[in-house]
Amino acid sequence: MSKPTTPRPPRSNGQGRPDRKGGPKGPRGGKPGGGPRGRDGSADRAPAAPLSARAGALRLLNGVLGEDPRLLSELREAPWLGRLSPPDRARAQRLTTETLRQLERCDRLLEKHLTKAPPLPILNILRLGTWELAAGGAAHGVVNDWVTEAARAAGRANMKGLVNAVLRKVAAEAEDEWPKLRAPRLPDWLREPLSLAYGHEKIRAFETAHAAGAPLDLTVKDPASAEHWAKELGATLLPTGSLRLADGGQVSALPGYAEGAWWVQDAAAALPARLLGDLTGKTALDLCAAPGGKTMQLAAAGARVTALDLSETRLARVQENLSRTGLSAGIRAGDALEQTGAYDVILLDAPCSATGTIRRHPDLPQARDGDEIGELIELQSAMLDHALTLLAPGGRLVFCTCSLIPDEGECQVEEALERHPGLSVIAPESPGLEPAWITEEGGVRTTPDLWPDLGGMDGFYMAVLRKAD
């Protein structure tokens, strides 16, 4: 097994760790508490008048970048967003996501036209308008609509002239200037520790992948039918067995969705379950199971699965996915640290910083600052230790996180091996695994810059652990 080509960062007592609120998954697999909150209350009360897609995008962007930053996954639960028509809701979320993805580029185009920073709602109007113009939006419509939104902003009607003037200047130069701008950099609290782990050149490649966004990946219920569904969907069959569409559009309208032939799952996220090998007839526990992609993989592979998650709401989504695909699993709501029993195989997708998913979630580095990563690392260790008590002698456990931070991956496995005599790492085997992905301790590390010609993949760490007989 090859050793890492870059050093890992030393333990840093939580400094530079992205997630002061527990990440997209909160403690023990649940979501963070509390409903969506707007900076001025607008994000958690119904609007007085119908909203446009652009107005919805502005509210979302204000929510992510305001004084009390929220993830888009939290803001999507706001009642007002549900009152947009489905097309407008989708457009609002896309506008917000793409503006966050290109935030630094937007700001660089804007800075030479601003003598001082305007109030945040107006700055966010300018950012959203800049992204639309850079993406080829018709200048007249984009500028006029955002001027209208500026007029509607509480106490900001006097900013209409500024918005009009700046966006017209941006419209005149965006086509030429946008391609010259570098890929947006990660914020310092995340960039610095990752640079220690991977080196500056590798981080620049991550940032290029983040700026490109992510295609739609699918996991096929029956691997033998992957080529058939690739043809039906016009998808690329990836080396690891997943299908990839450059633009999936409305997922529920795609061939095979209604009959449950596949489900959405990033190619990297599909790897941990595949490392467990033949599961026919084995008892399997999927810890932190929601939204259910790995549960469905285990069930489709012939295991008798128990799916555990802290959130009953998220487990309802697991059950919906199982019903659509015609698969079955026992559903259990509860704390992973309080579970009992014995299982042949366990899959622990532990709560983490989710820093490997920035291609899909560009709000994460903006809404988080790293304050609680130390707590997450402690939780991961406790969950791994307890999961091992649930593993039958000779059983296999996959530990995985969708994090780029080695302390949430490689270091966790190294330290678990020290704490548990008789525990060993099984060499990973699965189609499409490349030797360069294998880490020193025997796990698998994926990063966003892999497969650049195919569209990248999420950052993930995974290792298969075997308990002594």
pLDDT in tens, 288-325: 999 999 999 999 999 999 999 999 999 999 999 999 99
- Residue 394 near residue 467 (C-beta atoms within 8 A): yes
Instruction: Report d(CA 417, CA 102) in Å as an integer.
Output: 41
Q: What share of the chain is helix, strand, coil (3-state, %, to 5)?
A: 45, 15, 40
What mean pLDDT do residues 70-84 have?
A: 89
Indicate the average pLDDT of the chain: 89
Answer whether residue 60 shows pLDDT above 70.
yes
Q: Which residue has the higher pLDDT, 315 or 17?
A: 315
pLDDT above 70 covers a percentage of the chain that reads 89
Environment class of residue 375 by beta-carbon count within 10 Å: exposed (0-12), middle (13-18) or buried (19+)?
Answer: middle
Of the candidates 35, 121, 123, the one whose C-alpha atom is nearest the C-alpha of residue 71 is 35
Instruction: Report d(CA 328, CA 264) in Å as an integer.
Output: 18
**From the CB of residue 41, how many other CB atoms can be counted at a distance below 10 Å?**
8
Instruction: Report d(CA 440, CA 282) in Å as an integer.
Output: 29
User: What is the Cα Rg of the chain in Å?
Assistant: 23
Answer whether residue 28 shows pLDDT above 60.
no
Of the candidates 92, 107, 100, the one whose C-alpha atom is nearest the C-alpha of residue 210 is 100
Task: Give per-residue pLDDT as tens, 149-161.
Answer: 999 876 777 889 9
* Residue type present at position 115: T
What mean pLDDT do residues 91-109 have?
A: 97
| pTM as predicted | 0.87
Q: Which domains does the chain have, with CATH numbers?
A: 271-466 (3.40.50.150)
Task: Give per-residue pLDDT as tens, 389-416.
Answer: 999 999 999 999 999 999 999 999 999 9
Catalytic residues: 402
